[in-house]
Amino acid sequence: MTGIVIWHNPRCSKSREALRLLEETGAEPTVRRYLDVPPTEKELRETLDMLGGCAIGMMRTGEDLFSELDLTKDAPDEVLIAAMAAHPRLIERPIAMADGRAVVGRPPERVLELLED
């Protein structure tokens, strides 16, 4: 297995829990504080491909910013990806990736799926 990368927000309890769970298995994930180092649109598209879903599935739709930007759950992926790149706090957290796969850590235990074959 290649290394696990986790898009992490240390202020989020779910993100902290996911990181703790990974570390307890002996994994040494690379932590990316995505609010400090936002992913590019290209990185967001690549992550979306690994998740295998729609962009809305990796967004925090309950954030006030989501409605302030007039975003909707049926907006095209490209619009949502551009919004996440410009406003990374719209990205659901945490997202963990390894070996061409990604999971949204909701609940945090989902990140352990990356350790399975």
Q: What is the pLDDT of residues 47-79, one digit of tens each?
A: 999 999 999 999 999 999 999 999 999 999 999
Active-site choice (3, 4, 8, 12):
12
The span from the CA of 24 to the CA of 106, in Å, is 18
Banded model confidence at residue 92, pLDDT cuts 50, 70, 90: very high
Q: Using an 8 Å Cβ cutoff, are 85 and 44 in contact?
A: yes
Q: Using an 8 Å Cβ cutoff, are 98 and 5 in contact?
A: yes
What pTM was estimated for this model as a whole? 0.93
Q: Using an 8 Å Cβ cutoff, are 104 and 13 in contact?
A: no
Give percent above pLDDT 90 in the chain: 97
Q: Is 54 a catalytic residue?
A: no
Name the H helices within the chain: 13-24, 41-51, 64-68, 77-86
Provide the CB-side half-sphere exposure for 10 (13 A, CA).
4
The average confidence (pLDDT) of the chain is: 96
